[in-house]
A and B are shown apart, each in its own frame.
Chain A
Amino acid sequence: MPEIKPGSRFASSVCTTEIIIVKGFGDCDLCCGGAGMEAPGAPRDERTPSPQAAEGTQMGKRYVDAAETIEVLCVKPGDGSLGIGNVLLKLKDAKPLPASD
Chain B
Amino acid sequence: MNIMMLLEMAANGFGERVAVGSHTGGLTFQQLYDRAGAAAGRFRADGVTAVAMVDVSSVALPISLFGAAWANLPFVPLNYRLSNDELSRQGERIAPAVAIADPSAVGRLIGLGGVEVLNRSDLLDSIVDAPVPEAGWEILGEGTAVLLFTSGTTGEPKAAVLRHRHLVSYILGSVEFMSAGEDEAALVSVPPYHVAGIAAILSNVYAGRRIVQLPTFDAAVWIDLVRTEEVTSAMVVPTMLAQIVERLDAEGPSGMGLPSLRTLSYGGGKMPRPTIERALQLLEHTAFVNAYGLTETSSTVALLGPVDHRDALASDELSVRARLGSAGRPLPNIEVSIRDENGSEVAIGSPGEVWVRGDQVSGEYEGLPSQLTAAGWFPTRDGGWMDDAGFLHVTGRIDDVIVKGGQNVSPGEIEDVLVRHPEVADAAAIGLPDTHWGERIVAAVVRAYESQVTAEELQEAVRTELRSNRTPDHVEFVEALPYGDTGKLLRRVLRADLAHLGDGSTL
Contact = CB atoms under 8 A, between A and B. Distances in A.
B176 A100 contact: no
Candidate in A20, A59, A95, A97 with the most chain B CB atoms within 10 angstroms? A97
A95 B289 contact: no
Contacts of A73: 172
Contact of B203 (A20, A76, A96, A101): A101
A9 B178 CA distance: 21
Given A6-B141, A20-B5, A62-B172, A98 B287 contact: yes
A7 B1 contact: yes
A26 to B, nearest CB: 15
Candidate in B1, B141, B209 with the most chain A CB atoms within 10 angstroms? B1
Interface in B57-99: none
B13 A97 contact: no
Contacts, number: 84
Given A96-B179, A100-B291, A59 B9 contact: yes
Q: Chain B: interface secondary structure?
A: mixed
Contacts of B213: none
Interface string A1-45: 000011111000000000010100000000000000000000000
B235 interface: yes
A99 B331 contact: no
B303 A97 contact: yes
Contact of B172 (A22, A96, A100): A22
Given A98-B303, A99-B186, A6 B289 contact: no
Contacts of A59: 9, 12-13, 177-178
A60 interface: yes
B139 interface: yes
Q: Say which size band chain B's interface belongs to.
A: 35 or more
Interface string B189-233: 000000010011011100101000000000000000000000001
Contact of A20 (B1, B176, B199, B263): B1
Interface in A55-84: 59-62, 73, 75-76
A99 B165 contact: no
A61 B177 CA distance: 7
A60 B1 contact: no
Contacts of A7: 1-2, 139-141, 165
Interface string B451-473: 00000000000000000000000
A86 to B, nearest CB: 27
B140 A101 contact: no
30 contacts: A6-B1, A7-B140, A7-B165, A20-B1, A20-B139, A22-B172, A59-B13, A60-B177, A61-B177, A62-B172, A76-B12, A94-B176, A96-B179, A97-B332, A98-B287, A98-B289, A99-B180, A99-B186, A99-B289, A100-B203, A100-B235, A100-B265, A100-B291, A101-B186, A101-B196, A101-B199, A101-B203, A101-B235, A101-B265, A101-B291
Interface of A: 5-9, 20, 22, 59-62, 73, 75-76, 94-101
Interface of B: 1-2, 5, 8-9, 12-13, 139-141, 165, 172, 174-180, 186, 196, 199-200, 202-204, 207, 209, 233, 235, 263, 265, 267, 287, 289, 291, 299-300, 303, 305-306, 331-332
